[in-house]
Amino acid sequence: MTTWATQSGFVANTKSIRSDVKHAATALRDSTSSNALLRTVCAVLDLDTEQANAALPTPDGQATNLMSKAFAALGAGAVECYGASTNVARRAKALLSLSSGAAYLAEASARVASVTTP
């Protein structure tokens, strides 16, 4: 698992995705965010999520399952965010998906840490 984490850039990718989620959530919560801003931050999140997802599976089934759930929720949130514009319901739906995805990602990160720590 340590080799996979190193080769896949797991730590750096996770840090980048967490930053992307923070930026997207901030933009979604700000009712004055422009459609262009939403599309930009959400497209970046979607791209980073897809790239991290491409590194799956991991050698650990539980970590793979958690990451799959995280990337699916984050991807869904990014897509919803991309088209949310001024629609309050779509913004809320995107935020819910991002929150769920971030929680799964945190759990996946804890799992990776637990199986890579000697």
**pLDDT for 1-49, tens place per residue?**
999 999 999 999 999 999 999 999 999 999 999 999 999 999 999 999 9
Q: Are 115 and 4 in contact (CB under 8 A)?
A: no
Q: Are 63 and 112 in contact (CB under 8 A)?
A: yes
What's the sign of the alpha-carbon dihedral 2, 100, 38, 53?
positive
User: Which tokens sit at 113?
Assistant: 């840490």
Using one digit for the tens of pLDDT, what is the confidence trace for 73-83? Answer: 999 999 999 99
Which CATH topology does 2-116 take?
Answer: Four Helix Bundle (Hemerythrin (Met), subunit A) (1.20.120)
pLDDT of residue 92 exceeding 80, the answer is: yes
pLDDT of residue 114 exceeding 80, the answer is: yes
